[in-house]
Structure 1
Amino acid sequence: MSEPGKPRGRSFPLSLDKLTPVARSVATRPSAAAPALTPARPTAPERKPNLLRPQRLLQQAALDRERQVRPAGLGLDSELVRARMVERLRAQGIRDEKVLAAMLAVPRHLFVDTALANQAYEDTALPIGLQQTISKPSVVARMLELMRGNRGDAMLQRVLEIGTGCGYQAAVLAHLARLVVSVERLKALHDKARELLAPWRADNVRLVYGDGMLGHPPNAPYDGIVAAAGGEAIQQAWLDQLAVGGRLVAPVVRGSTQVLVLVERNDRGFVRSEHEAVHFVPLKSGTT
């Protein structure tokens, strides 16, 4: 997709130069020279020293409404906040600079609930509703690093994501592939991701409402496949849709835990390796 720009902030449209003539006449009276916070006591019933106060309340209401849409006043829109997260990822062993640059470019706090925005850049998973979570940054970075392999600055052609969730990982993938197909089985989350991704005009991201266990054959084969849910085994449909030279990364249940499994496809078949222990929501079939 084209590089997503930072959404423009909103400003409340009223200003003092647009107040009513009545408000201006009160503001220019000699008796109005006293500080606005300590108005003189009215000496006549017709005097209204608090006439300007509703303007301040309206401005506050606008700010409150803005905070409900996007966290404000927390410094979260600063690239420095994301840069600190990226430096922590680098310190934890992430070496793929293209993955790090993609995570630097995507504001994670815009994909979590406003009440959790202060935790957006901590290395922790956060709830996104319907008993689902947004994966911790270190896990996202590690899975994408494994999926890319040693490709340097090269872009992947097509990537399949199993489990869109809130859309954060799809937004990161949009910086790594020319086409991202992301499948979500929960309609409410599919709709939420579509809403959250809309401002970014991610023309190279296609969101699909469907059963992720089946993959998405219409756009196969894929150079990369990444799953955000843990199953008992790698799905055969995913292997069938993986291109020769492609890499698939998914959590797989191992006893009481899960591990990241990397599958590489070559001319002779598949090569499988196991990596870090992780914890993802269970992989399920069907839609709801």
Structure 2
Amino acid sequence: MKRIWPVLGLSLSMVGVFGAYRKYKNLTAEEKPTWPEVRLAGAVTQEMAEALPEPMAKWLGKIGVIGREQVMAVYIKQTGWMKTKPEQTEWAESKAEQYSFVEPPSFYWKARMKMDGLSVTGSDSFRDGRAGMRIRFAGLVPINRQMPDGKLNESALQRFLMEMVWLPGLVFSPYVKFTKSTAHSVDAEMTYNESIAKVTFEFDEQGRIKRARAMRYKEVDEESVRLPCIAEVHDWQTVDGIEIPRRVDITWIIDGRPFTWYKFTVDGAKINPSVPASW
């Protein structure tokens, strides 16, 4: 009889863990968004480009979208390297995938990596003006889970607008306006579901977007403030006749010092793809 109690205790513990996991899965299943079909919008004409600020029009011509179907969605597969703190010396390698859509404005990024020898999965999403972020240990135990709030929503919209370099169809979005331009820069503003994003795009001598700069929330607690965030393109590649970035660094400026927390190379991409049902 004594031998039965440890086994029974273990069984009850497993039932409790399984019940908690089922409850967690049911909760998070309700939050997982469904992703749209690509809404094609026709070809980009020379007249459409000429209505934009000159650097934007030159960029569209340089990357080869004029005369082609608008890029309304993109899929990118990345190999990345990440640091969580400026003092960290080693980079954590990651494998990531992302879908982004012009209409409705949305993206979903998911990654897997090894950190201190442990398997970690993470996701970052934006849909219907709401952002979500989730990190799990071993694909099961939530390490960090941030639910949508005003600061997180704004930061996600900032990220979405900064990534216009992947989604040139975004320049024609009714949510986007261009407020200022020079020979080599354009200020853009996007308003969507009560959030406002402001990004400055900088162009190189060839007309490509070289950098995107924004003031973003790195953290979303009550005391957090906006910090400079910079996305810089270092290399390009051609996919379906359209030139897109191949290598990108993401850098925060903290106390006046640059902290490159994520850098990645694009291993594969698709223009105007469909999202698999199982994704």
TM-score, scaled relative to structure 2: 0.26
Q: Which structure has the larger Rg over C-alpha atoms?
A: 1
Task: Give the structure with the larger strand fraction.
Answer: 2
TM-score, scaled relative to structure 1: 0.25
Task: Give the structure with the larger helix fraction.
Answer: 1
